[in-house]
Amino acid sequence: MTKSRSDQPHSFSKRDFLQAFAAVGGVSGVVSALNGLGMGIASAAEAPPALEGRGNGKSVLILGAGLAGMTAAYELGLRGYKCQILEARSFAGGRCQSSRAGFKTTTVDGETRTCDFDKGQYFNHGPWRIPAFHHAVFHYVRKFGIPMEIMVQENDLGYVQFNNAKGPLAGRRVRLRELKADMQGYTAELLAKLTDQGALDKELTGQDKERLVDYLVRQGFLDARDLKYKGTIHRGLARFDPMALAGPNTASEALAFQDILQSGLANAFQGLTTIDHPSTMYQAVGGMDQIARAFTREVGKAITYNAEVLELRQNDSGVSVPYRNTATGAVKVAKADYCISTIPLGILSKLETDLSDACKEAIRTPGKMTVGKLALQMNRRFWEEDDNIYGGSSTLGIPGHTIVYPSYGYFGKKGVVMSAYPIGAPAIAFGEMSLAEQTEQALERSELIHPGQFRKHYDGKAFSIAWQRTRYSEGGWTTWSPADRQKHLPVLREPQGRVYFAGDYISGLAGWQVGAIESAWAQIEKLHASAMKA
């Protein structure tokens, strides 16, 4: 008997699966579903939860005016809640910061550093790129009308140079596109020859072998007659004649396969970019802090600045949070029906609270990623004028050192180049250095890729940050072991009495803006449900 249409098996996409969970359990249901799939909550939803009912003046105290805190205040405010945000800094945005003329940052030791870049020059020393699937961020980009532009993550015209490599390529500056073309060509040649010689007869039919070889010839730039890679114009030109008066333009000479393998340069890139770091990403025009500023325009009246939280208390009727005005030293107490804390866990763990032992253990368990950045202002955009590099990066393979070219201000006179991005162990040593020492190290290394250019065109203006040494951050982002994540994140994702936690540290994408926003969406849904029951 023929099955009816309703009995027929059908495909069920991830999107269908998540929408089904959303219909039943809202954003928090999607979070649970993705956790079960081991996917975290990155881009779990494209819009904030649709909450039934109104807050009717119920009060919510939000600790921290980063993106998570301001998202919560904005969405709850739309639904009739009265929100107050306590922010320890003198500005909002949390780690969503950009350094430009006059910007100040303070270390845990009290040292204040002021940026002196020229007007119009800036550097995203916090978040600096957004992939296309971070829907929650783009929800507010569209809603607030934040101008965006392309951020060039990977540029095949960037350079790779390994000074400690072995063989003829040691210390040689090579374009990324040369390496990609040559490695693609040589590996295609090997596979095509093995296929042609019968090495894959057990795996492939005769017709499939023909199709594979045809693919390898086309994608590996092979000579179809002998299946050899002999170089390609895709890697670059040995001679370029725009009028073609001297005959066809010819490809530059390919690097020797053995030389590439011996040098290790083949491991400096991936054939395809990862989904979270595609070749082109997005950034806010004028600096990533424009996203934080857009939120501030919406909820700024609710923010109390220079308010350093001292304790976190709650009882059956509400929450009570003593805080100190860092400018005057005066201590006040803020009270509300509910509290959403976005304070970094490493800082929150030092405060007096009456949270449960299980919650306190969860707060003090994760690690803190050490990370830093350094940017140098150049008085000439030599990477564009001399090397045709517009955005992207170059590398020496030295941990902590990366040259990242600006994806704005093209064809201008000056530009700001990121010349250090240490993460992990290299960031610890970086953080202990003075700005002058950091700058000298960066110049010395960067000169190797652009000989005679960095020192000549550096105009003496630099700015750096070491997030683990930055007051009110004390880390780049939170790190969890798999076991700790499984044990403690469920605690932090659920209400602890009248206290809720939001921030990228409870998301599947720590360190990303989308994690902060979506964590707020999930928590306001739970808070609203509790308030409606009350």
Same domain? 378 vs 414: yes
CATH of the domain at 176: 1.20.1440.240
Residues 445 and 508 in one domain: no
CA distances for 51 relative to 29, 34, 242, angstroms: 14, 21, 62
For tokens 């020059």, name the residue: 121
Q: Could you tell me if 444 and 487 lie in one domain?
A: no
> In this predicted model, what pLDDT tens digit does every residue of 250-298 receive, in sequence order?
888 999 999 999 999 998 888 778 888 899 999 999 999 999 999 999 9
What is the model's pLDDT at position 17?
A: 40
Confidence tier at 24 by pLDDT (50, 70, 90): very low
pLDDT band at 215, cuts 50/70/90?
A: very high
Binned at pLDDT 50, 70 and 90, residue 248 comes out as low
- What is the rounded average pLDDT for all residues in the chain? 91
Residue at 455 is within a domain:
yes
Q: Which of 156, 125, 118, 145 is nearest to 409 (CA)?
A: 118
Structure tokens given for 86: 């306590």
Instruction: Answer for the pair 164, 170: CB distance below 8 angstroms, yes or no.
Output: yes
Q: Give the model confidence (pLDDT) of 368-410 as tens digits.
A: 999 999 999 999 999 999 999 999 999 999 999 999 999 999 9
Looking at the fold, whether 455 and 487 belong to one and the same domain comes out as no
| CA atoms in the 13 A half-sphere facing the CB of 49 | 30
In this predicted structure, which of 20-29, 391-400, 423-432 has the lowest mean pLDDT? 20-29
Are residues 64 and 32 located together in one domain of the fold? yes
Q: Which domain holds residue 446?
A: 104-128+370-469
Does residue 324 have a pLDDT over 70?
yes
Q: d(Cα 229, Cα 181) in Å, to the nearest integer?
A: 10
Range 189-211 average pLDDT: 94
Tell me the residue type at 426.
P
- Specify whether the backbone of 147 is left (phi greater than 0), alpha (psi in -120 to 50) or beta: beta
Q: How far apart are the C-alpha atoms of 184 and 474, rounded to whole Å? A: 43
The lowest-confidence range among 18-27, 247-256, 456-465, 509-518 is: 18-27
Say yes or no to pLDDT of 196 above 80: yes
Residues in the chain: 534
Strand stretches in 426-494, DSSP E: 458-466, 478-479
Q: What is the pLDDT of residue 43?
A: 58
**What pLDDT score was predicted for residue 242?**
63
Do the beta carbons of residue 352 and residue 311 sit within 8 Å? yes
List the CATH number of the domain containing 456.
3.90.660.10
Boundary of a domain, candidates 441, 469, 497: 469
- For residue 63, list its beta bridge partners: 86, 341
Per-residue model confidence as pLDDT tens digits over 483-532: 999 999 999 999 999 999 999 999 988 999 999 999 999 999 999 999 99
- Domain boundary (268, 285, 312) is at 268
Q: How many CA atoms lie within 13 A of 112 on its CB side?
A: 6
Share of the chain above pLDDT 90, in %: 85
Is 438 in the same domain as 382?
A: yes
Q: What is the pLDDT of residues 122-161, one digit of tens each?
A: 999 999 999 999 999 999 999 999 999 999 999 999 999 9
Say if 412 falls within a structural domain.
Answer: yes
The predicted model scores a pTM of 0.89
Q: What does residue 228 show for φ and ψ, rounded to 5 degrees?
A: -110, 145
- CB count in 10 Å sphere of residue 246: 9
77 half-sphere exposure, CB direction, 13 A CA radius = 18
Q: Are 159 and 394 in contact (CB under 8 A)?
A: yes
The residue written with tokens 């403690």 in the block is 488
Strand boundaries in 157-255, DSSP class E: 159-160, 174-175, 222-223, 228-229, 237-239, 250-251
Nearest to 88 by CA among 327, 364, 312, 318: 327
| Non-local CB neighbours of 332 within 8 Å, separated by 6+ positions | 322, 323, 325
**Mean pLDDT, residues 96-119:** 96
Tell me whether residue 395 is in a domain. Answer: yes
Pair 79, 173 in one domain: no
CA 321 to each of CA 90, 469, 534: distance values in angstroms, whole numbers, following the listed order: 19, 25, 22
Same domain, 374 and 361: no
**Which has the closest alpha carbon to 141: 65, 67, 42?**
67
Q: Is residue 448 part of a domain?
A: yes
Residue with tokens 């806010």: 284
273: in domain = no
Q: Which backbone phi and psi does 252 adopt, to 5 degrees?
A: -70, 160
Q: Would residue 495 count as lying in a domain?
A: yes
Same domain, yes or no: 168 and 239: yes
Domain shared by 169 and 256, yes or no: yes
Percent over 70 (pLDDT), the chain = 90
| pLDDT band of 45, cuts 50, 70, 90 | confident
Report yes or no on 288 lying in a domain: no
Domain count, the chain: 3
Q: Which of 376, 369, 370, 343 is nearest to 492 (CA)?
A: 343
Quote the pLDDT of residue 36. 39
Considering 428, 446, 469, which residue would you say is the last residue of a domain? Answer: 469
Considering the domain architecture, whether residues 305 and 360 belong to the same structural domain is answered as yes
208 and 248 fall within a common domain: yes
Composition of the chain by helix, strand, coil, percent to 5: 35, 20, 45
Q: Is residue 390 part of a domain?
A: yes
